[in-house]
């Protein structure tokens, strides 16, 4: 943990910088490349001729990581959308029903759109997306 001194007006105060804000911004930057990868996976699924288990497993792993990391950084909507995608992939892997594919496409589109919306917001507005949550609120993400 780093302690910096700042002097607003005449009073001196200590500002604690734990580096979390920098990590959050790095994650937000990484979301852009994750979005590109999700779009590529979506295209691959649309053009898959045979079994697409490899694509679905890659998609599931990426959604799982996104869900957990977004929850850590309190990006609740992204965490929920990624978790929905993860569950939709699990469902698609377990069955060959047409509605599983439709749910998968809807979940993927929702996550891609949400990431695009977040990355288009101004930095001052993005801070409002990360609302502090209680531990009980965080636990409901994966239920």
List Cα–Cα distances, 119 to 81, 88, 114, in angstroms: 15, 24, 9
- What is d(CA 70, CA 76) in angstroms, rounded to the nearest whole number? 7
Cα–Cα nearest to 133, from 76, 66, 70, 69: 76
Lowest mean pLDDT among 24-28, 59-63, 88-92, 138-142: 138-142
Backbone angles phi, psi at 128, to 5 degrees: -75, -15
Entry pTM: 0.69
Domain ranges of the chain: 27-132
pLDDT more than 90, % of the chain? 41
The 10s digit of each residue's pLDDT in 99-108 is 677 888 999 9
């Amino acid at each position: 943990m780093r302690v910096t001194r700042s002097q607003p007006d005449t009073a001196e105060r200590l500002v604690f910088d734990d580096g979390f804000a920098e990590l959050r911004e790095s994650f937000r930057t990484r979301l852009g490349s994750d979005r590109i990868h999700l779009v590529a996976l979506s295209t691959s699924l649309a053009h898959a001729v045979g079994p697409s288990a490899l694509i679905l497993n890659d998609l599931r792993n990426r959604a799982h990581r996104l869900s957990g990391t977004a929850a850590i950084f309190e990006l609740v909507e992204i965490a929920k959308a990624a978790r929905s995608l993860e569950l939709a992939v699990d469902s698609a892997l377990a069955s060959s029903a047409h509605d599983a594919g439709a749910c998968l496409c809807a979940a993927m589109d929702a996550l891609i759109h949400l990431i695009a919306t977040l990355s288009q917001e101004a930095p001052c507005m993005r801070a409002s997306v990360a609302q502090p949550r209680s531990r009980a609120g965080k636990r409901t993400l994966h239920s």
